[in-house]
Structure 1
């Protein structure tokens, strides 16, 4: 076979696979402490390469490195790689010394009697960098603290037993995804990895190669480029034992069952064409449920900007971007909120539609919804949808700047129950859901609100935060809600991130501050953040992101004044 792609020949791919086969044997002999050292070197490389990384990402997305939009690339690129690699290293050192990686993680009781691991904030720096944010990992019902601690470590509990070679098919949107998925395959599953980068992020090849060099120069990881042909060759290669993909459910089904009528027939029959295991993170139609009781005019403005960010971060090309906003149809301030939402969407910085097919998907969404409202800079807002109508926005992940608003009757717990039914039963996918609620009203609802959170079948739930913040939290698992199958894959099978290597997790619940800085204490919360750095209208996001990366790499108190000064200007 002499297939040649734009970047990689079959001979080069075969050579890479041979190196990995030899590397797997060396990996099996490598002590946990040495593995931890290599992960720490990856974190160091991510810090060293951060400027080149961000510049490459900005070239790929056609934005200026000096623009506030570059803050997204600092915070979603090198930052989570530094924190994730360092946390994985700490987990391996705990295992090496005979401790569980979660031996000292505080626990609490989640709804339904579940055990919750309080994984964030972990240390004082966490409280400062992500002020007011906390994250709890709920274990599956019936899993005890003792069971969780003994199982934490996953494949690293038996490090000498490796599990072959994995091909990781990298994502084309967030630049850290491919690296984080590679680290998880290597550590959590004890598989050596060949990583194929997505052509959309071809500019990232040199930076990612440099970050993973501590692993690749020893034969534990290989990084290659190319399109569908390269991916297909690797997926079908007999030496590859496992596939991991971040992408769409259509891509997953094409890999597992094949394409065309024959592939669909195999999917309906439940007979895979793929003769190996596969894990996946596939996105979906993510909701934001607005619970507006007790909101002031300033709350409406701030949360409208929050919602616009959830849709427009990275131009809307996020698997976790909010696509459907749920609001009460009888809300007296509904008109005011929708006016603010339109205004925030329009005022968000203009940016190129860098992801292939974006403009066509926006046009298709406009054609298929009578109430579609074209906004500034190629964005689309679909208003006035009802929960019982048939709407493509409920089932198609547009992966573009399209936001739909659904109005649900009722208030109080009746509204929450109706919202829960709608998002669980009508929306495609289970990756993440957001909830915006005044803390006082949350406390008033009490157990009814806890029931509501428990009822949401999503892998990450963010309360007064965006689920994207959960992505930044190294110890939190990331993936769809448990229960997906090859035939009904929803938002994917398996997990990534999860740097404490916890088994039997069900979901992550992230909580953030309802109000920023000066108004936060009124709600009984404390936040020292005036405007989160990931908000799309933060004018100093690039400065804050760069300084957060520097601090994550070398946490010194002397770095904080400059970081906070930039944050206050945001």
Structure 2
């Protein structure tokens, strides 16, 4: 992964100047032309998709068509297209004079909070991801009318608050992160963009420059290259109006507060070096909480596969990768679930940890533990089963961002008591508020409905998954993506602000995404009807890459005939 030659200071200045020159024309561009530009992106993404994915797989050291094959389709071209499609859904409705969301989509939950159903957003969503649901929980005091009124308000008469030139500092781990951030800066904030790709995946720049060709030609987007020094220079450039970063809290702090001995004093005295607006997504420790219930062997296998997927997708180099599984001390099936996790990891092929610093972080994560099990080919993942919830081990204090999975067992005489303890541990002990997941079988969900609803409501995370890895919020486009509100520059946690958010809602607290506990063929026998087989994002899906490629092609073409191929491969997964 040799990075491109770093941009010079003169080239950086020229990029900012070009974007500044184009800012006024972008801010005033009619909605119809904005829609046209989005529509033109879809075939351009598809034209580059095959080689873009192949290049990514080569650089990550994984084989095409294997267990890891679907991840770079789903988190690359498919996620990019889904982001475009989500914005198109919203803007086309506005352009026709219709509201982005019907009044029936905003309701109150059992806690009296306004929630907005954002997925499925179209009839095709209901078919392709049948049984999947997503809602946005609004901040306290936001009424249904407020929430609906905020949707795409910038395109319904209010206009953009402070359009200008935004610097996007792209992440190196997932291809779609930078492009979805670019889209949000352009379409939600009305700002033109200078983007610095991470040196880790800067090889994507050539593809993206072709895809975004018209935006570049018309002065609305510029790419620059280089390391932290270039990012620092641009963040403090006088003609950059705002900054968005996806990365680590250390990078955020170095930009905002500086480095060296004076940085701590600046933070203490609230005198940052960077005073312009900055939003951020910075990761954290993400848990899966397993509610006790009576699971059959297939349930144990299916959820073990999902847990392993949530850990080893992208070799664990995800800000939302599961780091801890939280189990009830008294649950009779806890050990059986762990045995299934072990077996799933052992069944997978080796893959390298390609992100810098991985080995050091993995060594730190397992230090001080005696129950460490290296699993899989070439120690693909280490399972640590003796994590003390009251200790100060690295596994519960620092994000690993690599292949280590810890297990915490917590007490609780009842399901409600366990969930309360698990939520308190996640909220008050674990750093970060990006995403958390709860697994609960349908019988338990029905019997313990109040306890489950309270747990989901009480989790202070920007995305909560129910029976689905909370990373789904990143992919759906309609769901806002970011940390739970309340962080500040002085205590940044998982970051500030939301992106994606295709309906452009305001006053967001978090997203809640839900997937059926069982795939369709087993759910039907239990009286829970839906049409979703095993998701193609599972690392155990035998046809995951084929299905992901076909889903991507469908987003580009919209041809109904493509559905036959999608379902044919999906049902074989």
Match of residue 134 from structure 1: 133
**2:504 is paired with a residue of what secondary structure?**
coil
Give the superposition deviation at 1:32: 1.2
Asked if 2 retains the 8 angstrom alpha-carbon contact of 1:164 and 1:241, the reply is yes
Match of residue 499 from structure 1: 502
**2:423 is paired with a residue of what secondary structure?**
helix
Match of residue 94 from structure 1: 93
Q: Determine if the alignment matches structure 1 residue 557 to structure 2 residue 556.
A: no
Match of residue 452 from structure 1: 455
Distance in 1, matches of 2:525 and 2:461, equals: 30
Give the superposition deviation at 1:154: 4.8
Match of residue 462 from structure 1: 465
Match of residue 36 from structure 2: 37
Match of residue 228 from structure 1: 228
Give the superposition deviation at 1:371: 2.6
Match of residue 184 from structure 2: 184
* Segment of structure 1 superposing worse, 27-36 or 417-426: 27-36
* Segment of structure 1 superposing worse, 79-88 or 57-66: 57-66
Q: Determine if the alignment matches structure 1 residue 569 to structure 2 residue 568.
A: no
The verdict on how the C-alpha distance between 1:303 and 1:193 changes in structure 2, with shifts beyond 3 A counting, is same
Asked if 2 retains the 8 angstrom alpha-carbon contact of 1:475 and 1:499, the reply is yes
Distance in 2, matches of 1:527 and 1:395, equals: 39
Give the superposition deviation at 1:415: 0.5
Distance in 2, matches of 1:500 and 1:112, equals: 24
Distance in 2, matches of 1:498 and 1:256, equals: 26
**1:404 is paired with a residue of what secondary structure?**
strand
Give the superposition deviation at 1:266: 1.7
Q: Give a deviation string over 1:45-88, Cα, whole Å, max 9, x none.
A: 22222112212221221223343422111111111211211221
Give the superposition deviation at 1:161: 6.3
Q: Give a deviation string over 1:126-185, Cα, whole Å, max 9, x none.
A: 123223211111111221222122222254444476521111000011100000001101
**2:471 is paired with a residue of what secondary structure?**
helix
**1:268 is paired with a residue of what secondary structure?**
helix
Q: Determine if the alignment matches structure 1 residue 534 to structure 2 residue 533.
A: no
Following superposition of structure 1 onto structure 2, how do residues 283-362 of structure 1 map, counting pairs within 5 Å?
283-362=283-362
Distance in 2, matches of 1:406 and 1:489, equals: 26
**2:385 is paired with a residue of what secondary structure?**
strand
Give the superposition deviation at 1:452: 1.2
* Segment of structure 1 superposing worse, 167-176 or 374-383: 374-383
Following superposition of structure 1 onto structure 2, how do residues 244-263 of structure 1 map, counting pairs within 5 Å?
244-263=244-263
Match of residue 440 from structure 2: 437
Q: TM-score, normalised by structure 1?
A: 0.96
Match of residue 370 from structure 1: 370
Match of residue 200 from structure 1: 200
Match of residue 396 from structure 2: 394
Q: Give a deviation string over 1:379-426, Cα, whole Å, max 9, x none.
A: 211102232222221120010011110000123111111111100001
Distance in 1, matches of 2:49 and 2:23, equals: 29
Asked if 2 retains the 8 angstrom alpha-carbon contact of 1:283 and 1:491, the reply is yes
Give the superposition deviation at 1:115: 1.7
Match of residue 56 from structure 1: 55
Q: Determine if the alignment matches structure 1 residue 217 to structure 2 residue 217.
A: yes
Asked if 2 retains the 8 angstrom alpha-carbon contact of 1:253 and 1:267, the reply is no
Following superposition of structure 1 onto structure 2, how do residues 148-159 of structure 1 map, counting pairs within 5 Å?
148-156=147-155, 157-159=157-159
Distance in 1, matches of 2:314 and 2:267, equals: 33
Distance in 1, matches of 2:552 and 2:103, equals: 26
Unaligned runs of 5+ in 1: none
Q: Give a deviation string over 1:458-491, Cα, whole Å, max 9, x none.
A: 1111001111212111211000101111111111
**1:557 is paired with a residue of what secondary structure?**
coil
Distance in 1, matches of 2:251 and 2:123, equals: 41
Distance in 2, matches of 1:62 and 1:40, equals: 33
Give the superposition deviation at 1:215: 1.4
The verdict on how the C-alpha distance between 1:289 and 1:161 changes in structure 2, with shifts beyond 3 A counting, is closer
Distance in 2, matches of 1:499 and 1:422, equals: 32
The verdict on how the C-alpha distance between 1:432 and 1:291 changes in structure 2, with shifts beyond 3 A counting, is same
Moved over 6 A (4+): none
Distance in 2, matches of 1:337 and 1:67, equals: 25
Asked if 1 retains the 8 angstrom alpha-carbon contact of 2:519 and 2:532, the reply is yes
Match of residue 112 from structure 1: 111
Asked if 1 retains the 8 angstrom alpha-carbon contact of 2:370 and 2:386, the reply is no
Q: Determine if the alignment matches structure 1 residue 546 to structure 2 residue 549.
A: yes
Distance in 2, matches of 1:362 and 1:388, equals: 21
Give the superposition deviation at 1:368: 3.5
* Segment of structure 1 superposing worse, 356-365 or 308-317: 356-365
Give the superposition deviation at 1:275: 2.3
Asked if 1 retains the 8 angstrom alpha-carbon contact of 2:369 and 2:387, the reply is no
The count of aligned residue pairs is 567
Q: Give a deviation string over 1:519-556, Cα, whole Å, max 9, x none.
A: 11244433433321001122211101100101112223
* Segment of structure 1 superposing worse, 358-367 or 88-97: 88-97
**2:294 is paired with a residue of what secondary structure?**
coil
Match of residue 490 from structure 1: 493
